[in-house]
Amino acid sequence: MPAAVLDAQSAHAAGVQRLLASYRALPATAPIRLAKPTSNLFRTRTKTGAAGLDTSGLTGVIAVDVEGRTADVAGMCTYDDLVAETLRYGLAPLVVPQLKTITLGGAVTGLGIESTSFRSGLPHESVLELDILTGGGEMLTASPGENAALYRAFPNSYGTLGYATRLRIELEPVKPFVALTHVRFHTLADLMTTLESILATGRLDGAAVDYLDGVVFAPDESYLCVGRQTSAPGPVSDYTGQQVYYRSLRHANGATHDRLTLHDYFWRWDTDWFWCSEAFGAQHPLIRRIWPRRYRNSRTYGKLMKIEQRFQIGDRIEKLRGRPPRERVVQDVEVPTTRCVEFLDWFLSSVPITPIWLCPLRLRDDDRWPLYPIRPEQNYLNVGFWSTVPVGRTPGEMNRRIERKVGELDGHKSLYSDSYYSRAEFDELYGGDVYRAVKKRYDPDSRLLDLYSKAVQRR
């Protein structure tokens, strides 16, 4: 075995021991949380004062099996670090979530998604096995054949059943470039017709589709962004400089074409946090020229957002302008493709937020995941929208309206941001009975938060 692999394995083993030691150092009744510098959660949370577990040794790639097309990865390893390692071998994870700071463990326990999800599902579906530190203090391996109930319930549990310390994931062979076609639509119905055709055939205009997502700017301006892997050399675009990726999609009619390295394609949304960097002035041409490239990324914008929330800068500015404070509407929802035009029409007429991200999804296999029970045989469209609206008469009024509409259309909502469900609604939507049974087995003393408490009560 290569010395580098042995060193990585040794470092990981030492990291696991530090994690266990920090767990055992806590009082038996103390609540548990991870100590980590970044988070891609957008919930308002109550400060608990709980000591954090030491994850400092759980951030790397442990080993890549090139022939077997698998990787063993530490739970706190970011996709940025993972992709940098696997691309050296012409391999990539089956799904690479769109922000560099998302970790493997976070994407599995919190559900990631990206433009391969129409063919490869969600990140947890390519996990062959994983090691989990449970709330009860056990270090267990979970797979379809071992601790299967924990393996099935771990996705969408958001760290309330345990923390992944190692994940073995599938990889796929990839080519060095992505050729992009951005197809413009003047009606949402036409966009959905083309989308459904691609989902049924895996092809557009006779050519295989490897990557697929889209953006809605207005009812009469929407785009599908179709990517195909290629080894053909040629010029490529760079959206880490003055050019902004999402702005490059817009054109009057028909289709436009673009090329990116695969690495830059994976992180095309990270440079400007999709389009949310505009709130910090990072898209203004003059500011962009002096804003260092190394700080144009989701990590920087996330830190700026936390500062804004801490000091309520946005609401203070609105007050000076004589306007009401703003309600944060930062959500991703999955709606069956058969109901998507209805949802988007409602959204565009009811919620003053654009652009909107579109990402088609179909579970990879017939397996069912009880804490996020979308149907394996159903095509869904992930609809992402991230902004603020004027506050309503009741707390979270717009978010509550969106929840109701998604429920009416047989959809589901991700739990990384604010939620307002009643306990009964939440249990019905997110596998309450299964969750409680697994929670009782693997966290009998409730050292970790309950999922409802974490996702809705925001403790």
**428 domain residue, yes or no:** no
Say whether both 449 and 345 belong to one domain.
no
Percent of the chain at pLDDT exceeding 70: 95
Say whether both 47 and 129 belong to one domain.
yes
Q: What is the three-state SS of the chain? A: CCHHHHHHHHHHHHHHHHHHHHHHCCCCCCCCEEECCCCCCCCCCCCCCCCEEECCCCCCEEEEECCCCEEEEECCCEHHHHHHHHHHHCEEECCCCCCCCCEHHHHHHHCCCCCCHHHHCCHHHHEEEEEEEECCCCEEEEECCECHHHHHHCCCCCCCCEEEEEEEEEEEECCCEEEEEEEEECCHHHHHHHHHHHHHHCEECCEECCEEEEEEEECCEEEEEEEEEECCCCCCCCCCCCCCHHHHCCCCCCEEEEEEEHHHHHCCCCCCCCCHHHHHCCCCHHHHHHCCHHHCCHHHHHHHHHHHHHHCHHHHHHHHCCCCCEEEEEEEEEEEHHHHHHHHHHHHHHCCCCCEEEEEECCCCCCCCCCCCCCCCCCEEEEEEEEEEECCCCCCHHHHHHHHHHHHCCCEECCCCCCCCCHHHHHHHCCHHHHHHHHHHHCCCCCCCCHHHHHCCCC
Say whether both 19 and 152 belong to one domain.
yes
pLDDT digits (tens, 9 = 90+) for 89-100: 999 999 999 999
pLDDT confidence tier of residue 2, bands split at 50, 70 and 90: confident
Say whether both 139 and 77 belong to one domain.
yes
**372 domain residue, yes or no:** yes
Say whether both 328 and 447 belong to one domain.
no
CATH code of 374's domain: 3.30.70
pLDDT the model gives residue 315? 85
CATH code of 109's domain: 3.30.465.10
pLDDT the model gives residue 284? 97
Q: What global pTM score does this model have? A: 0.95
Which residue, among 274, 278, 273, 286, has the nearest Cα to 242 in the 3D structure? 286
Number of domains into which the chain is organized: 2
Cβ 324 vs Cβ 390: under 8 Å: yes
Say whether both 336 and 446 belong to one domain.
no
pLDDT the model gives residue 5? 73
Say whether both 346 and 446 belong to one domain.
no
pLDDT digits (tens, 9 = 90+) for 195-229: 999 999 999 999 999 999 999 999 999 999 999 99
Say whether both 144 and 27 belong to one domain.
yes
pLDDT confidence tier of residue 28, bands split at 50, 70 and 90: confident
**241 domain residue, yes or no:** no
Which residue, among 67, 104, 176, 124, has the nearest Cα to 364 in the 3D structure? 124
At 317, list the tokens: 């500015």
Q: Which amino acid is at 9?
A: Q
**286 domain residue, yes or no:** no
Say whether both 400 and 319 belong to one domain.
yes
Say whether both 446 and 367 belong to one domain.
no
**432 domain residue, yes or no:** no
pLDDT the model gives residue 314? 84
Residue 384: domain span:
312-420
Say whether both 321 and 447 belong to one domain.
no
Say whether both 448 and 321 belong to one domain.
no
pLDDT the model gives residue 422? 96
pLDDT digits (tens, 9 = 90+) for 137-154: 999 999 999 999 999 999
**30 domain residue, yes or no:** yes
pLDDT digits (tens, 9 = 90+) for 281-299: 999 999 999 999 999 999 9
pLDDT surpasses 60 at 48: no
**294 domain residue, yes or no:** no
**195 domain residue, yes or no:** no
pLDDT surpasses 80 at 251: yes
